[in-house]
Amino acid sequence: MRNASKGEQHPSFIDFISAFLSANSYRLNLVPISPDFIFNCGGLSVAFIFVTNWDCNNVASIFNRVQKLKTQFSRFYVVIALPTKEKIDSFTQSYFKFGMVIGKPTFVPVMDLEMGFEKMVKIAHSSGVYKQERIEEKLKAEVSSSILILH
């Protein structure tokens, strides 16, 4: 977790993060990094920006940070807590205003902080499992064999 991110959060949320990670066999380390979180699962690093407070009047700094980091990490996600319709509308307008491309990086809107953190852990875990079990190779082999059968 990024040092600056810890300072921006309520202590009870930091306690939740630490307990949730411990329960799922992860460890919380505070480091001076650009993304808010980097999970290493199965030898695969997955980076996240976690926007816990969407400020409709200060969106440029968020999107500038996203633009910078998306070139540095191949597996990069932006999780945003958007609890109100006003914030959802603001995010949607800003997303297109700042020229974001769908899926590059993937934005994950959530209703609350706990849900956002759980999504990050699930995304990181599934990415690690995907790599460890070589699912991509298995899918490619299956597609190739299906194509051969058709010919």
Q: What is the pLDDT of residues 53-87, one digit of tens each?
A: 999 999 999 999 999 888 888 899 999 999 999 99
Taken in order 9, 28, 1, 82, is the CA torsion positive or negative? negative
pTM: 0.73
> 3-150: which CATH number, 3.40.50.720, 1.10.3720.10, 3.40.50.300, 3.40.50.10130?
3.40.50.10130
Classify 107 as helix, strand or coil. strand
Q: What is the pLDDT of residues 115-130, one digit of tens each?
A: 999 999 999 888 877 7
Percent helix, percent strand, percent coil in the chain, to nearest 5: 50, 20, 30
